Structure 1
Amino acid sequence: MPFIALPAGTLHVREAGNGPRVLLLIHGNCASSRWWNNLLCSPPEGLRLLAPDLRGCGESMRPGSGYDVATLATDLHAVLDACGVECCDIVGHSLGGAVALQMALDAPQRCRSLLLATPAPADGMPLQAPFSWLGAERTAQLFPNIALNRTVLTRALPRVAPGLHDPAALAELLDDALACEHAAVAGFTASLMAFNVIELLHSLTCPTLLLAGALDPLVPPLQLQATTTALPHSHLLIWPDCGHAPQLEHSQRFISLLTRWLADPAAVLNEAPLEWPFVEPTDPGLLRRLRQWVGLD
């Protein structure tokens, strides 16, 4: 089952494990299912892992449109249908976190739990300097020229994932990003800035764990405060030594957390909430890191 036919083309889906409990893994922007390799190579006992390449990424179809969060969620519901999955747990990273939330809103009976790793905020990605003067539409149009530039990516990835020190892994992430469809990166970026389901989250009853990295230059933990507050059964966990890719920067810790979460979500949700000792999005230090991330400094 490496490819699943959809009306717009085919989605590439990797599968690992043969357990009775299904776990859907959704990658982020400028990425592919290979961001889940640590899980796919050693699937936890009792799980069946499904890791699709989103349209425009990896080995999946590359249509000219359909790169909004709602369409991505529809694609993945079709994947679950094709795989005979009625209910599953979902892990979403970055853009994949927004897609996971949309899937849960579209079909709440299908989602047993959500683990959102450094997810896009449910009230939309804010337009930060140095892009704010461009406006959302122009930023989305220009962003692929920055994000899919080898020189910029080579400088940016160590800052985006400061806990990842394996040169081979960084090279693989670089290749994945450069292989993404230009239209996909532009569409994902525009959709994440427009994404806003914050007023709908009160209807979700599934347990939801949000995982943030204190060193994340893309989604600082403070940006997830509104999302966490709006979700009725949620908890925000912040790793102080982590950037935007916890599943890669601290893979064994991530797998341990995932295993504990799936075994007893209530125990994780009942942990003491963290304070918010983090910089405001307008903090000059954060803006400087954003400029460094895109290679402007």
Structure 2
Amino acid sequence: MPSPDRFLTNPVFVCLHYWAGAGREWDQVAAELAPAFTCLTPDLGGFGGALAPKGGHSVAAYTDSVAALIAEKQLTDFILVGHSMGGKIALDLAARQLAGMRGLVLLSPSPPTPEPMTDEDRTNSLRAHGSKLAALGTFNRITARPVSDQLKAQIIEDNLRSTREAWDAWLLRGSRENITSRLCDITVPCTILVGDADAVMSPSVHGLETLPYLPEGTHLEIIGGAGHLLPYEAPQEVAALLRKFAAGLHH
């Protein structure tokens, strides 16, 4: 029988959401992981219900805000989890080697290099802010597995809650930042999880643009039939990977 206090030793998952999303994208994953694990799922500045980060909307400003939250919560044993935009922020944060950080899990991350996006796609995305029709179109493009009507409505609502400032800043600047020079400072175990039907960034993008900058032995795992919104489309698989990753840190 496991010790009753075994769960107290499990690291906290600090989960960072995607662009035009919110922290509640992790609700299903957190439910799958409970009660063994706790998930901290903040809204990033300008998204969900969060105010703009101090210092603007750069990758470093977002990193500062998450680091401040970790300090405020006095976390001494945690694993960073970053999805899409949150992945790039998690990469930058992992390079700071915060005390207590045990590992890094990236879900369909925005790469540390400038994100592959055509000028046409960027222009169309800039014009899409605040449009329910555009938000629905985005949902249809970036998901591959079925999502309930309730969660679909939530995804669209989060898209529409994004502030114009945060929306534009990521498209024009954050997604274009190159943080590769700092990634040599990442020393914790890492893993990448992607969907093979991701219309935003295919597995090959992660293999070429992110994997080479991570520690030797980092795995790239693929979920069949899943698109870009893995916490919504494949919460059970994501939770299983997080449990497996945490267990592997003990060996």
Partner residue of 2:31 out of 32, 41, 47:
41
Q: Give yes or no for contact 1:164–1:170 (8 Å, CA) kept in 2.
A: no
1:264-294, Cα deviation, whole Å (9 max, x unpaired): 1599xxxxxxxxxxxxxxxxxxxxxxxxxxx
Equivalences for residues 38-117 of structure 1 within 5 A: 38-62=28-52, 66-117=56-107
- Sort the Cα spacing of 1:42 and 1:221 in 2 relative to 1 into closer, same or farther, 3 A: closer
Structure 1 unaligned runs (5+)? 1-17, 132-138, 268-297
Structure 1 residues 42 and 220: CA distance shift in structure 2, 3 A: closer
Q: CA RMSD in A?
A: 2.3
Partners of 1:246 and 1:235 lie apart in 2 by 17
Q: How far does residue 168 in structure 1 lie from its aligned partner after superposition?
A: 1.1
- Segments of structure 2 that go 5 or more residues without pairing to the other structure are 1-6
Q: Which residue of 1 is the match for residue 114 of structure 2? A: 124
Identify the structure with the greater strand proportion.
1
- In the alignment, is residue 220 of structure 1 matched against residue 202 of structure 2? yes
> Percent identity at matched positions?
23
Moved over 6 A (4+): none
| Contact 1:19 1:45 survives alignment (8 Å) | no
Distance in structure 2 (CA, Å) of the matches to 1:155 and 1:143: 11
Structure 1 counterpart SS, 2:193: strand
Contact 2:29 2:238 in 1 (8 A): no
Question: What secondary structure does 1:54 align onto?
Answer: coil
- The residue aligned with 2:16 is 26
Tell me, yes or no, if structure 1 residue 231 matches structure 2 residue 214.
yes
Equivalent residues of 2:84, 2:109 under 8 A apart: yes
Partner Cα separation in structure 2 for residue 166 and residue 115 of structure 1: 26
Q: Which residue of 2 is the match for residue 146 of structure 1?
A: 128
Q: 1:208 aligns with which of 182, 187, 190?
A: 190
Are positions 1:259 and 2:240 aligned together? no
State the match for 2:178 in structure 1.
196
User: Higher relative contact order at CA 8 Å, sep ≥6: structure 1 or structure 2?
Assistant: 2
2:230 pairs with 1:243? no
The alpha carbon displacement at 1:253 in A equals 1.5
TM-score, scaled relative to structure 1: 0.75
The size of the alignment, in residue pairs, is 242
